[in-house]
Amino acid sequence: NLSGKTAIVTGSNSGIGLGVAIELAKQGANIVLNSFTDRAEDHALAERIGAEHGVRARYIKADMSVGEDCRALVHAAGGCDILVNNAGIQHVAPVDEFPVEKWNAILAINLSSAFHTTAAALPGMRERGWGRIVNIASAHGLTASPFKSAYIAAKHGVVGLTKTVALETAGQGITCNAICPGYVLTPLIESQIPDQMKVHNMDRETVIREVMLLRQPSRQFATVEEIGGTTAFLCSAAAAQITGTTISVDGGWTAL
Ligand code: NAD
């Protein structure tokens, strides 16, 4: 049970981040949602989660591509007991044609943001003698595919940062781990299914099995609830000695 703990989840107004935030709220944690927008619906989402699960939930706007914003998010939240570094973007292009601004944005949002939020969150965790840092990496933090150089470099970097932070916090009641999802069925992925069906002239089930999940041996998507559940496990007492490691939630992808 995480009641009384405060969890910041970066990039959490949709997809995996939102799923993780809802799961932590179910466990009783107070929630800080985040993205770079500041819309009424962002704040309404936090209000709804708070009301549904009987916890305090707030939305704080901060752009994870900007280091000072990342640190300001943690300070505006008044520190946190649980930090989930989830914000991330993707761009696909051959390395010799990769747009420099996309490279820089992906490294900033997918990797450097976790450095900044972790640096800002650690002093408070040390004071309280308890902390959980969960970095949402990827199967692409452990293995590669062509045309995703920035994403894969950043996610491998997240795994390296995870191990280093674990060593620097070992024995202090703080753990730092990375979750490495394979394909997760998020609204973004869901929205690609109709196009893929058209391009390949296949029905939904076939395009999922034969095209989208070709590298995922289970041929099943992971769900945001499963990533949330894995995060909650890493925050539980049973996981107190799990630190500096990765947990794959990838239907066997990295076992291949
Ligand atoms: P998504 O696009 O639904 O969510 C990304 C979140 O990050 C959104 O809430 C978005 O608003 C936020 N975000 C983007 N840029 C931001 C910025 N500059 N500042 C603050 N927030 C920002 O995608 P998702 O699939 O839920 O991805 C979440 C994380 O999971 C990412 O790090 C992604 O790399 C990782 N991941 C996803 C999959 C998958 O199959 N969906 C697989 C492995 C890893």
- ipTM score of the complex? 0.99
User: Which residues partner with 83 through β-bridges?
Assistant: 8, 133
Query: Angle at the Cα of 23 (from 187 to 82), degrees rounded to 5?
Result: 110
pLDDT for residue 173 is more than 90: yes
Range of the domain at 212: 185-221
What whole-number distance in Å separates Cα of residue 134 and Cα of residue 176?
6
**pLDDT at residue number 168:** 99
Q: Would 40 be classed as within a structural domain?
A: yes
List, as one string, the DSSP characters of 43-104.
HHHHHHHHHHHTS-EEEEE--TTSHHHHHHHHHHTT--SEEEE---------GGG--HHHHH
Rg (CA), the chain: 18
At 190-205, the pLDDT tens digits run 998 999 999 999 999 9
pLDDT tens digits for range 147-171: 999 999 999 999 999 999 999 999 9
Note whether 209 and 143 are same-domain residues.
no
- Mean pLDDT to the nearest integer, 138-147: 97
Asked if 172 and 189 sit in the same domain, the reply is: no
Are residues 123 and 19 part of one domain?
yes
In a domain, 231, yes or no: yes
Mean pLDDT for 215-228 is 97
The SS3 call for residue 168 is helix
233 and 107 co-located in one domain = yes
Please indicate, yes or no, if residue 1 is contained in any of the structural domains. no
Substitution candidate for ligand 1 out of 12, 20, 23, 35 with most atoms within 8 A of CB: 35
Q: Which atom of ligand 1 is nearest to the CA of 12?
A: 9
Q: Which residues are annotated as catalytic?
A: 151
What CA–CA distance (Å, rounded) separates 232 from 217? 25
Please give the number of the atom of ligand 1 that sits closest to the Cα of 189: 41
Q: Which stretches does DSSP call E strand in 109-166?
A: 131-136
- Say whether both 33 and 47 belong to one domain: yes
Query: Looking at residue 110, what DSSP letter applies?
Result: I
Residues 177, 162 contacting (CB under 8 angstroms) = yes
Ligand 1: distance of its center to the CA of 18 in Å?
10
CB-CB neighbours of 96 under 10 Å = 6
pLDDT more than 90, % of the chain: 99
pLDDT for res 177: 99
Residues 198 and 230 occupy one common structural domain? no
Q: Residue with the nearest Cα to atom 39 of ligand 1?
A: 184
CA distance 255 to 233: 22
Average pLDDT of the residues in 73-87: 98
Over residues 71-82, mean pLDDT: 98
Q: Using the structure block, give the residue that is written with the tokens 């009783």.
A: 28
How many C-beta atoms surround the C-beta of residue 227 within 10 A?
Answer: 26
CA distance 233 to 211: 31
Please, which pLDDT band fits residue 183 given cuts at 50, 70 and 90?
Answer: very high
pLDDT at position 104, please? 98
Ligand 1 centroid to residue 127 C-alpha, Å: 30
Question: In total, how many domains does the chain have?
Answer: 2
**Three-class SS of residue 176?**
strand
- Per the prediction, the chain carries an average pLDDT of 97
Q: Based on the fold, state whether residues 18 and 62 are members of the same structural domain.
A: yes
Give yes or no for residue 188 having a pLDDT over 90.
no
State whether 100 and 33 are in the same domain.
Answer: yes
Atom of ligand 1 nearest to the CA of 16: 26
In tens, the pLDDT along 114-124 reads 999 999 999 99
| Cα 53 to ligand 1 centroid, rounded to whole Å | 23
pLDDT confidence tier of residue 255, bands split at 50, 70 and 90: very high
**Which tokens sit at 165?**
């932070």
Whether 197 and 101 share a structural domain: no
Instruction: Kindly state whether residues 48 and 86 are assigned to the same domain.
Output: yes
Q: What average pLDDT score do residues 36-45 get?
A: 98
What is the CATH number for 12?
Answer: 3.40.50.720
Q: Mark whether 26 and 153 lie in a shared domain.
A: yes
What is the identity of the amino acid at 90? Q
What's the rounded Cα separation, in Å, for the pair 82 and 204? 38
Q: Is 88 a member of any domain?
A: yes
pLDDT of residue 135: 99
**Residue 210 pLDDT:** 95
Confidence of residue 54 (pLDDT cuts 50, 70, 90): very high
Do 198 and 88 reside in the same domain of the chain? no
Ligand 1 residue neighbourhood (C-beta within 6 Å): 11-17, 35-36, 63-65, 86-89, 109-110, 136, 138, 181, 183-184, 186, 188-189
- Residue 70, in any domain of the structure: yes
| 49 occurs within a structural domain | yes
